[in-house]
């Protein structure tokens, strides 16, 4: 599907734009750059996978798929002409691209602010839908003035990484109706949502259905997308054809002493013990095969502090989940899209 450039019409920061020059003046150069790609003669735009393994892959996203995805989201959140949406993510990534496409599809007013940890400083009017990453939500909740501005947002979708239990608890106490998203670049943004503070289950959008393969990994059937079926590496608890609970990544599973443990489950259990970034990974071990390792982004503490941490860990983890080693790193390595690389050198 080619989209004619002559048909450009989008509302950016209350300004109806019918040219790229107008878009760049009303919003930002990166929004205008995406619109230039959107209105060219190609049937697709270029995106990149999240690079969870450290190496993002270029991917061609069909514009017809992007429009179909946008329409499903707009329908669920009741976004239409006259709605206001907030773009505070970079259009370099799928989440930012899709906010623009949703606004185009619905003829909504897209309020564009530069991506920042505190993106609500200039927001003074009601916003029907905003999209953020967990780091932005955590920063907002740590700033009283910014937290108060969150009342302007009636619906919020959060994706790109998991919300910490504490951030989720605090977010659920606010008036904004918040959803954690499930999706990937290949599925053209989210295909399922989970209401924050209400459920551990993700529910499907549109006509999407779920099943699992022999590994227990999620299989997505998405009839609105050209590829239709997606086999993931996400281990899930299957509830029914429209719902699932996320467990962890198949390629992250640690086989320690013959017992399989999921790093993501351990991370959730210890979330209240640490107020800095951390992750669970593994290293080879003669006795255990693989040993569980806790990596913490922090200077090395004194022995007394480290001892208290070990005691606290032992109160909430079983013997297989308990880290056999704790490493302190000054800064975590990150992928192209800002995700932490969950690997350590031996």
Domain ranges of the chain: 5-207+234-249, 253-329
Residue 79 has pLDDT above 80, yes or no: yes
Looking at residue 346, its pLDDT comes to 67
What SS3 state is found at 201?
A: strand
Domain 253-329: give its CATH architecture: 2-Layer Sandwich (3.30)
What SS3 state is found at 345?
A: coil
Nearest to 161, CA basis, from 143, 176, 182: 182
Q: What's the full length of the chain, in residues? A: 346
At residue 268 the predicted structure's pLDDT band, cuts being 50, 70 and 90, is very high
Class of domain 5-207+234-249: alpha beta
Looking at residue 112, its pLDDT comes to 96
Q: What is the pTM of this model?
A: 0.86
pLDDT in tens, 210-242: 999 999 999 999 999 999 999 999 999 999 999
Residue 2 has pLDDT above 50, yes or no: no
CA 331 to chain centroid, in Å, comes to: 21
CB under 8 Å to 55, separation ≥6 — which residues? none
Residue 1 has pLDDT above 50, yes or no: no
Residue 266: burial class (beta carbons within 10 Å; 0-12, 13-18, 19+): buried
Q: Which stretch of 61-70, 158-167, 244-253 has the lowest confidence by average pLDDT? A: 158-167
Q: Which stretch of 10-24, 53-67, 290-304 has the lowest confidence by average pLDDT? A: 53-67
Q: Which two tokens stand for residue 110?
A: 């897209």
- Tell me the mean pLDDT in the region 84-95: 94
Q: Which two tokens stand for residue 297?
A: 């982004």
CB under 8 Å to 142, separation ≥6 — which residues? none
Looking at residue 55, its pLDDT comes to 63
Residue 336 has pLDDT above 90, yes or no: no
- Tell me the mean pLDDT in the region 144-156: 96
Mean pLDDT for all residues in the chain: 92
**CA Rg value for the chain:** 21
Residue 116: burial class (beta carbons within 10 Å; 0-12, 13-18, 19+): exposed
Looking at residue 89, its pLDDT comes to 95
Q: At what angle do helices 165-172 and 134-141 cross, to 10 degrees?
A: 60
């Amino acid at each position: 599907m080619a989209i004619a450039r002559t048909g450009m019409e989008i509302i950016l920061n209350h300004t109806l734009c019918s040219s790229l020059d107008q878009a760049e003046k009303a919003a930002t150069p990166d929004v205008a750059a995406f619109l230039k790609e959107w209105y060219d003669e190609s049937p697709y735009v270029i995106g990149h996978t999240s690079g969870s393994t450290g190496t993002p892959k270029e991917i061609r996203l069909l514009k017809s798929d992007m429009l179909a995805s946008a329409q499903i989201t707009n329908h669920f959140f009741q976004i239409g002409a006259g709605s206001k949406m907030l773009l505070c993510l970079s259009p370099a990534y799928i989440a930012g691209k899709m906010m623009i496409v949703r606004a185009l599809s619905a003829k909504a007013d897209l309020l564009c602010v530069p991506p920042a940890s505190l993106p609500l400083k200039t927001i003074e009017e009601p916003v029907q839908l905003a999209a953020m990453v967990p780091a932005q939500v955590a920063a907002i909740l740590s700033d009283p003035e910014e937290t108060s501005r969150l009342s302007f947002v009636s619906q919020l979708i959060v994706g790109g990484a998991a919300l910490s239990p504490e951030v989720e608890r605090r977010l659920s106490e606010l008036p904004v109706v918040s959803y954690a998203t499930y999706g990937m670049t290949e599925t053209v943004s989210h295909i399922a949502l989970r209401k924050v503070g209400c459920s551990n289950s993700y529910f499907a959008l549109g006509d999407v259905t779920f099943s699992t393969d022999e590994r227990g990994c999620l299989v997505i059937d998405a009839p609105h997308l050209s590829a239709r079926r997606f086999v993931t590496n996400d281990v899930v608890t299957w509830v029914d054809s429209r719902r699932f609970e996320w467990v962890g990544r198949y390629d992250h599973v640690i086989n320690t002493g013959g017992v399989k443990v999921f790093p993501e489950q351990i991370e959730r259990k210890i979330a209240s013990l640490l107020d800095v970034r951390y992750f669970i990974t593994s290293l080879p071990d003669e006795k255990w095969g693989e040993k569980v390792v806790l990596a913490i982004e922090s200077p090395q503490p004194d022995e007394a502090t480290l001892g208290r941490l070990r005691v606290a860990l032992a109160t909430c983890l079983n013997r297989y989940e308990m880290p056999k080693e704790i490493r302190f790193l000054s800064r975590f390595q990150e992928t192209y899209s800002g995700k932490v690389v969950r690997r350590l050198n031996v």
